Amino acid sequence: MAPPAAVPESLLKKRKRDEEWANKKAAAAADAQKKARENRWTIFKRAEAYTNQYRRQVLARHAGRRQTAPCMRQPRADVGRPTCTLPAVA
């Protein structure tokens, strides 16, 4: 039986270097994945906050119109005068 062949030192160094590079690449990928997850969460929360703010603005802007809208939809007794009366504001 022949003795095992010796592996050149340059090949051993190359294997070790490649292994280190693979470990660094895997660590960088894990960090990037974690950062992307945090960014997605931030983007989602920012969009949700924008939507809520927009809805509040629209509701505030149209609050007066909502009270008068039912009167405008009812048939009118006279021209230009709605038949319903709005509730008194205290």
Q: Which domain, by its residues, includes 48? A: 32-61
Contact status, residue 71 vs residue 84, Cβ threshold 8 Å: yes
- Tokens (6 digits) for 58: 């629209």
Residue 12 is assigned to a structural domain of this protein: no
Distance between CA 62 and CA 67 in Å, rounded?
9
Residue 79 scores a pLDDT above 70: no
| pLDDT at 21 (0 to 100) | 98
Distance between CA 23 and CA 27 in Å, rounded?
6
| pLDDT at 29 (0 to 100) | 98
Residue 36 is assigned to a structural domain of this protein: yes
Distance between CA 11 and CA 15 in Å, rounded?
6
Highest mean pLDDT among 1-5, 28-32, 66-70: 28-32
Please state the domain count of the chain: 1
| pLDDT at 84 (0 to 100) | 58
